[in-house]
A and B are shown apart, each in its own frame.
Chain A
């Protein structure tokens, strides 16, 4: 069966520090992968999606970047965090029409 992992589960980082969140998927090959952010009082917002290794599309301009160095690995990064980057970050993949979410990383920027 397919599973999706994210780490860390929670993270507290100061403003201006770098960020690296990792997502890995098991049990499938060549999945479409997605990064979402859920900020307090807002809906899930799609940040990036990837249809294959090295292929990244950004949905909104922002302080973040994404990379896909391996087929089942998706990384979200920032060089300098802003307060507005705080939120619940979710990685997801699609199987047919269903989209499955990882457990998420709760990021607090102080």
Chain B
């Protein structure tokens, strides 16, 4: 079966660092994505990992270990506007390119 797990909720303090974990079991692997979704809005693309290692993009970094079926999203210097849901998604094999399997998302609350 296909399964993507991530924590339901997390809370962190403004200015701090938070790590959101994601584990996956899918039939094949073509890449792992992180999206940010503010309440009532569409998801926006944050990062893409297809090889093992860390990808850094400003305050956000994403890590992937394919052998462990594991990824994390690291958010540094948290700001209040980072309060949102963070979605982990995997592109598996089969079907068309871009068919993503999404986790249920992690709701992050940033407090002052």
Tell me if B102 and A99 are in contact (CB < 8 A): no
Bin the interface of chain A by size.
Answer: 20 to 34
Task: Kindly provide the distance from the CB of A45 to the nearest chain B CB, expressed in whole angstroms.
Answer: 7
Interface of A, secondary structure class, is strand
How many B residues, CB 8 Å from partner? Answer: 25
Report if A30 contacts B (CB, 8 A).
no
Number of A-B contacts (CB under 8 A): 56
Task: Kindly provide the distance from the CB of B40 to the nearest chain A CB, expressed in whole angstroms.
Answer: 8
Stretch of B9-17, B56-64, B90-98 lying at the A interface: B90-98
Tell me if B97 and A43 are in contact (CB < 8 A): no
Interface residues of B in 17-31 (CB under 8 A from A): 31
Residues of B within 8 A of A (CB): 4, 31, 33, 40-45, 48, 50, 87, 89, 91, 95-105
